[in-house]
Structure 1
Amino acid sequence: MNKARLTFYVTLALGLQLLVSVGLSSAAITFYYRDTVLPGTSVQGVDIGGLKADEAEKVLRDALPWPSPESLLMLVDPEGQPTHIRYGDIDYRADYHVTVKEALRHSQKTAAWNNIGALFGAMHHGCDLPLVKTFDNVAFTRILDKLSDKYNVPARNAQFAFNGNNVILFQDSKGRQLDTEGTVKQLMDLPVDEHRLVLRFKTVEPDIRISDFNGINSRLSIFVTQFDPTNRARSHNIELASKLINNVIVPPKQVFSLNKVLGPRNRERGYLQAPVIINNKLTSDFGGGVCQVATTLYNAVSLAGLTVVERVPHSLPVPYAPAGKDATIAGDFIDFKFLNNTDFPVLISSQVQQGKLLVSIFGHRQGASARLIKIETERLITKPTRKYVQEEGLVPGQVVVRRPGRDGYQLKTYEVIFENDKEVERRLISQTVVDPEPEVIAVGPGVHTKGLVKK
């Protein structure tokens, strides 16, 4: 056997012997720390390294005694307002047995043969573990839910008021909401000698910030319509819709959708049944009266000089607005929309006062303005025809008006702009054609009229 081959076999034998020795040593170490805590291990600063499981548990009980169930735990908010609960209320206790099991699991993992470097590192540097605690999560969560009314603070939206046409703004403020999940975690991490738990909160942002009003300094327009307050169902619907659009801010170059703001008009959303116009007839449906809100808003928008994107008139005249100045909405297929065509936000103000609906548009106005916007309409009336129908069951000579008929009309609406009392622009903003509805008169035997139809 040559020298090189001999050297190879000797080196291989020594390597195998070293691996076997290390493996046996690691196996022995792993077996040893099966029920003995690794040196350098502590729990919240209490050294339990080198101790058997039962010894380590006794040391922890003596060094980290747990308060009795009658002990008080103080819950405090960020301002220091306290609420006291008993440990027993949430079955709050230390689990020394599980804590030692975690220490042994850590020891066994560190002492594994393929982690020999970590073994010596852990023994040298040490490892401090937390004391495992348990509590009744359901009971603690129930307590926190009851405290939420005491500690929660709602966010306050920026507000505005107006004196004449001038705007006064009020600063917004953030709110807070008790963070149940975060507070539970805070309790789990609370040191054994700490009996004061600072509650965790989430920040609640306001929906309307003072910056949202940036540039709003004047009332651009106001339009008022009247309604019968004794019609309670219709009045209720008007007030409900008015509240929903009140204080809505439309950013620059954005489109406002009335349907989107109001949502479905149904019983679930608080609307009542009241008269509505459907298919050229007056009937009853949920949300009757909301179209008056649409009409009042439409006129305020037009007077403010904003761009109407979508507007559909009623098929019948309405008593609360000038001819050609009404707007209807229905379901999710007929909407009223307008574009804020300015470089500043605009705000809708909608108020109900003693049978009157007042809708204002607030926005930005550069100094004093001599600009006046008027709405003018042209209306061409078409009279209905009359139709006689002979009906069985009527007595001789009897005449019954089954349908009174309705005028037809062609309506053109213009926006007219004056500057210094001089007309500078006239723009057609809508054109509506409504066909006349014939008058239907039922007659009994013996009545002879031109064009009589037998039924």
Structure 2
Amino acid sequence: MFKGKFRIVAVICFVLFGVMAYLSSQMSFGPRDKILPGIYVLNVKLSRMDRDQAIQAMKKMEASFKQARTIQYRELSWSLPMDQVGLRLNYEEEVERAMSFGRTGSLWQQFLERREAHRSVHLKPEIHLDANLLEKTVTAAAETIILPPRDAGLIINDNDTVEISPGREGRLVDINHLQQELIKSLLTDSRSPIPLKLVVAPPVRSTEEVSAMGINRLLAMYSTQFDPNKVNRAYNVSVAAAALDGLTVAPREVMSFNEVVGPRSTEAGYKTAPIIVNNELVDGLGGGVCQVSTTLYNAVLLANLEVVERTNHSMPITYVPIGRDATVVFDAIDFKFRNNTDYWLYIQSHVKGGTLVIKIFGNEQFKKDVVIRSWIEETYNPDTLVENDYSIRMGDRLIKQKGAQGYRVSAERVVMEKGQVVKVEKLPTSVYKARNQIISQGMAPPGDILSNPELPADDSPVNGEMEEAEER
């Protein structure tokens, strides 16, 4: 009994010793820095190559894969330039896989892999294709059979009537299927034409979806004027207006001007123009954007939409009646309104010459006749401040800053239907601060005037400048 068990153990030890001897032989193993004999990637022999040699062999394989292939749809065929579809092999990974074959895992696994290599083993590389580049290249090559889908949309006619542009299904190449067939063709070295499979591509927005938005008429419009010769400011108005053009607002959604228009920065395309900061006129980025928010505010009022957030300027502006302005400062002061109708809204905004026009389209059920009224409740007179100035001759006085009156202004929205008043709504009160007049009084003795070339005789804005300046 004991002898029988001893024989079994002896046989097992002998087999293990034989396996270890085989694994350690130069014939089956080879140098550690070279690939085992009998290892191929597809039909490229990597046997006994070191790492650098194997990488060069894989690069040649990739170059051969980049030769043009033929794609076919029915009786039509095209040449597909494979060097334009993002084809690549991961050289390092493929060579590492070949170097590791028969050298990792358990002794038994290594034995099996080396025995397989002794009869030759053909590894399949992982071929990478860029689906986006492939789609772009195939679309350019086979454009005659491709029909892009067309989204449904709105058409606003010159007379402000609304039509629906119907959507349409498209016909596109099945890129996933083509990608798989291309890889299969490369792995098998087939030169047969690769058939294209077409799929139906629905539009992102169907005709039914656009129709259900319920946008069928103009609810309100408002326009303001500006001086197109003030190039930077006119440019800023155009940039902000373009951000609003084509905007849709869902039922009950709150629209934020700052979120839509974004920060007023050089990166966003804005330029330096006059703005109002702390009741003073200074140059700053985005001067003119408030004219867009103010014009939108008035269009919102006339469309009978709910105002959620609105702040007046610190000084009156002249392109809208007093009490009907809306200033904005990114990340600080916003203008917001809610779509309080049961249907979607569509905003159209454009600049032509020196005119900014904003139109709001919605459903005809919510079209109302609206009148906006504003009036001055209280007037605040400015103070006159005198500052000693040693750069001016004693006895002389200059106006350093012109004063301007301040106001408290009330406003209301009157909503009518069929000629009858159905609602009178009080709008937010506007308070404009008085602008103090500052007098520079000369204090320099005759013949002892200190020079100060930077001091203007009068740096206050005149009326024409005031209407072009605003907070941002």
Asked whether the two chains share a fold, i.e. TM above 0.5, the reply is: yes
Which one-letter code corresponds to 2:155 in the other structure? A
| Alpha carbons 1:221, 1:361 under 8 Å: kept | yes
Shift of 1:394: 5.3
Trace 1:96-135 onto structure 2 (pairs within 5 A): 106=101, 112-113=107-108, 129-130=122-123
Aligned equivalents of 1:84, 1:420: Cα separation in 2: 68
Match of 2:155 among 151, 161, 170: 161
Instruction: Classify 1:297/1:71 alpha carbon distance in 2 versus 1 (closer, same or farther; 3 Å).
Output: closer
Which residue number corresponds to residue 374 of structure 2? 377
Structure 2 contact 393–442 (Cα < 8 Å) conserved: yes
Q: Which residue of the partner structure matches residue 446 of structure 2? A: none
Match 1:20 to one of 8, 13, 16: 13
Q: Which residue of 2 aligns with 1:292?
A: 291
Which deviations, in whole Å up to 9, do the C-alpha atoms of 1:281-305 show, x marking residues without a partner? Answer: 2222111111100101111122222
Distance 1:263 1:173, change over 3 A: farther
Question: Is 1:232 aligned to 2:231, yes or no?
Answer: yes
One-letter amino acid of the structure 2 residue matched with residue 17 of structure 1: A
CA distance in 2, matches of 1:71, 1:408: 75
Question: In structure 1, what is the Cα distance between the partners aligned to 2:65 and 2:186?
Answer: 18
Q: Cα deviation per residue 1:213-253 (whole Å; 9 max; x = unaligned)?
A: 73333322211111111221111111111111111222333
Give the C-alpha shift of residue 168 in structure 1: 2.7
8 Å contact kept, 1:33–1:104: no
Aligned residues: 398
**What is the 5 A alignment of 1:252-401?**
252-366=251-365, 371-382=368-379, 384-385=381-382, 387=384, 389=386, 393=392, 400-401=398-399
Q: Match for residue 422 of structure 2?
A: 424
- Write the distance in 2 (CA, Å) between the matches of 1:298 and 1:172: 37
CA contact (8 A) 1:311 1:335 kept: yes
Q: Give deviations 1:368-394, integer Å, cap 9, x for gaps.
A: x67322222232241525637486745
Rate the CA distance shift 1:351–1:173 in 2: closer, same or farther, 3 A.
farther
User: How far did residue 16 of structure 1 move?
Assistant: 1.1
CA distance in 2 between partners of 1:250 and 1:91 (Å): 43
Q: Distance in 1 between matches of 2:432 and 2:169?
A: 52
1: CA distance between counterparts of 2:434 and 2:63? 88
Query: Cα offset for 1:171?
Result: 3.5
Q: In the aligned structure 2, how far is the partner of 1:22 from the partner of 1:70?
A: 45
Does structure 2 retain, via aligned residues, the 8 Å contact 1:212–1:345?
Answer: no
C-alpha spacing 1:312/1:370, structure 2 compared with 1 (3 Å): closer
Pairwise CA distance, 1:192: 5.4
Q: Which has the larger radius of gyration?
A: 1
Q: Is the 8 A contact 1:381 1:407 kept in 2?
A: no
Counterpart of 1:249, as a letter, is: T
* 1:155–1:413 CA distance, 2 compared to 1 (3 A): farther
CA distance in 2, matches of 1:13, 1:419: 109
**Secondary structure of the corresponding residue to residue 269 of structure 1:** coil
* 3-state SS of paired residue (2:186): coil
SS of the residue corresponding to residue 19 of structure 1 reads helix
* Residue pair 1:37, 1:107 contacting (<8 A) in 2 also: no
Counterpart check, 1:433 vs 2:431: yes
Shift in alpha-carbon separation, 1:13–1:66, aligned structure 2, 3 A? same
**Contact 1:33 1:107 (C-alpha < 8 Å) held by counterparts:** no
Query: CA 1:300–1:233 in structure 2 vs 1: closer, same or farther (change >3 Å)?
Result: same
Q: Identity rate of aligned residues, in percent?
A: 27
Q: Distance in 2 between matches of 1:318 and 1:172?
A: 48
- Alpha-carbon contact 2:375-2:411 (below 8 Å) kept: yes
Secondary structure of 2:68's aligned partner: strand
Summarize deviations over 1:166-192 as a string: whole Å, max 9, x none. Answer: 24335488999xx9xx98996697135
Q: Residues of 2 paired with 1:252 and 1:92: CA distance? A: 49
Deviation at 1:352, TM superposition (A): 0.9
Instruction: From the superposition, tell whether residues 216 and 187 of structure 1 become closer, same or farther in structure 2 (CA, over 3 Å).
Output: same
Supply the AA of the counterpart residue of 1:165: T
What is the CA–CA distance in structure 1 between the aligned matches of 2:242 and 2:272, rounded to whole Å?
Answer: 18
Quickly say closer, same or farther: Cα 1:134–1:364, change in 2 above 3 A: closer
- For 1:61, the equivalent position in structure 2 comes to none
Structure 1, unaligned runs of 5 or more: 1-6, 55-64, 446-455
Distance 1:338 1:16, change over 3 A: same
Cα RMSD (Å): 5.5
Distance across 1 between alignment mates of 2:61 and 2:312: 76
SS in 2 for 1:243: helix
**Equivalent residues of 1:133, 1:188 under 8 A apart:** no
- Runs of 5+ in structure 2 lacking a partner? 31-35, 50-59, 444-472
Give the equivalent residue in structure 2 for 1:450: none
Whole-angstrom CA distance in 2 between matches of 1:293 and 1:254: 20
Helix, strand or coil at the partner of 1:191: helix
Shift of 1:436: 2.6
Q: Give, in angstroms, the shift of residue 315 of structure 1.
A: 1.2
Secondary structure of the corresponding residue to residue 325 of structure 2: coil
Q: Find the residue that maps to 2:409 and give its secondary structure.
A: strand
Q: After superposition, where does 1:38-53 map in structure 2 within 5 Å?
A: none
Q: Tell me the TM-score normalised to structure 2 length.
A: 0.64
Contact 1:69-1:91 at 8 Å conserved across structures: no
Aligned equivalents of 1:66 and 1:440: distance in 2? 82
Matched residue type, 1:191: L
Residue 321 (structure 1) shift: 1.1
**How far, CA to CA, are the matches of 1:174 and 1:206 in structure 2?**
7
